[in-house]
A and B are shown apart, each in its own frame.
Chain A
Amino acid sequence: MTKNWPTATSKIETLHDRSGLAPGRAEAKRMKQTSRPVIEEARKKGARRTAMVVGAIAFAIFLLSLLQGLRYS
């Protein structure tokens, strides 16, 4: 079986997990168990946070390359 890596929605799925269902039915019902607005909100929040972190890293690298220039010239 594949290892379950966390996704933006896996937390929500866990909250709504109905472990009493047979595996096939549980999978078929999975989408109905997660409401769309909840998924969308989680995605939006996650995307914003990721963008901020990655953008900050890019800006830091830009500053670091200038610092390298200052240091070695």
Chain B
Amino acid sequence: MAHAATHDHHDDHHGAPSNFFVRWCMSTNHKDIGTLYLVFSLLMFFIGGSFAMVIRAELFKPGMQLVQPYFFNEMTTMHALVMIFGAVMPAFVGLGNWMIPLMIGAPDMALPRMNNLSFWILPFAFALLLSTLFLPGGGPAGGWTMYPPLSMQGESLAYVVFAVHLMGISSIMGAINIIATILNMRAPGMDLLKMPVFVWSWLITAFLLIAVMPVLAGAVTMLLTDKYFGTSFFNAAGGGDPVLFQHIFWFFGHPEVYIMILPAFGLVSEIIPTFARKPIFGYKAMVFAIASIAFLSFIVWAHHMFAVGLPLGGEIFFMYATMLIAVPTGVKVFNWVSTMWGGSMTFETPMLFAIAFVILFTIGGFSGLMLALAPADFQYHDSYFVVAHFHYVLVTGAVFAIIAGTYYWLPKWTGHMYSETWGKIHFWNSVVWVNVLFFPQHFLGLAGMPRRIPDYNVAFANFNMISSIGGFLFGASQLIFVGVIVHAVWFSKKKAPDRAWEGAKGLEWTVPSPAPFHTFEVPPVIHDEELAHGHVED
């Protein structure tokens, strides 16, 4: 058994440096670096969340209340940049760092020193980005999409571009590491089609990152040279084309959306079989669906630009290509439901968040399908309907999956069970308030309220007030999450067994809880019945 390979490491900190600085700043251990990523992303989640609170407070009533319009624009821009690059992406990298080596029976990531560097670039990148808020000219206020010529205003562009470059380098190094780990470090017998779906989802995501992060780097480099070196890539006066930026940006931007959701698919595909006590339904279909979604993500970018004046043929192509994504996504939703069908289900906190993910992400998917229709998009474009759509995908999708994954693996990380009562209180508060926050935004968008405005017509007052109340309470609910984690790490008396969940399968549950500092130094022997998806038939 794989278990036997780790029995000589019952001391959970065996081999960990005792010096705080050496352990956390110079770490090459995948578990410690995973922890650093997760703590960093939680911090960024609250910083980005506080920007969202400013936005919702200003929009609580029509008229200008609390902030100046330019500051409001800074908040919308920074909220998106911090949440995307600082909270969601690092959270998935953290989960991947912690769990991928454990799930494939590897002793560590393939390139541990590069792993350390990819993390430690991030705090500097975000310090640089956030410092722009204190500059005399203010921070970036042209939206996270940085469309020229709007983003050329102000003096913060160079800081933002440098910060984006640093984030990109960090992401590319992280992706290289994950690909090298999965392709080279699997335990003997852990064939590709025996890997957990989470590992598959990360492998595909890493290839997406490799393909699109350099494109973002190229786009922002051209922005920089346009502003400071006299080039005219996007400047119509010099023969350039601002729409070119939009094409290049969205060639990165749309796969980026999938970078934030594919690992979430993988996470949910681990959690649902555990609490349904059944192998995942259609393992191979799940893997191929993820690969199909990743492929399709490269040929749909211009659906973000229907209103820009594309040729009719282009609009039709991008409309149908986008609608095609519903097919593999539908396969995944069908398979999650089929996994639950007839299972011996129990509803612990990770499962509750996973079920909420399936339902609410599907709502986000349906509104996405509405936006994919080119003729209809002319009405929805740049309205609050779009805001509602992508928050259903990214908050009740990606963020809920991250929370579900955290609850699911917390016993393995800390060696203690978290408080199930408080986990459920956190869940019910989150699921109620997130819908109060985002569902009315569909109505606001359909009624014609544009996004990224600090003031609005009184006709939109009621739904905005409801949305703001939901926002404040959803934000406050996340403090419960911090409380549950702090309790589990330092105060919980309930020891977690090696296999924290009765129905859990996979190599990560064969090592002690908390996972020892070094695991699988001797590669484990893989037994098919130990794998989450059971026997894979040809």
Contact = CB atoms under 8 A, between A and B. Distances in A.
A73 B240 contact: yes
Q: Which 9 A-B pairs have the closest CB atoms?
A: A65-B218, A62-B214, A47-B110, A46-B184, A61-B214, A73-B240, A47-B180, A50-B180, A73-B233
Contacts of A13: 188
Contact of A73 (B111, B241, B525): B241
A4 B184 contact: no
B239 interface: yes
Contacts of A72: 241, 244
B538 A1 contact: yes
A73 B231 CA distance: 10
Interface stretch (B23-31, B171-179, B289-297, B396-404): B171-179
Contact of A7 (B111, B191, B222): B191
Given A43-B185, A47-B180, A62-B217, A73 B234 contact: yes
* Residue of A3, A46, A47, A55 with highest tally of chain B CB at under 10 A: A47
Interface string A10-40: 1001000000000000011011001010010
B214 A65 contact: yes
A73 B239 contact: yes
User: How many residues of B sit at the interface, in one of the four size bands?
Assistant: 35 or more
Nearest to A72: B244
Nearest to B535: A2
Interface of A: 1-5, 7-10, 13, 27-28, 30-31, 34, 36, 39, 42-43, 46-47, 50-51, 54-55, 57-59, 61-66, 68-70, 72-73
Interface in B105-119: 110-111, 114
Given A43-B184, A61-B211, A73-B244, A4 B179 contact: no
A66 B221 CA distance: 8
A50 B183 contact: yes
A1 to B, nearest CB: 7
A5 B191 contact: yes
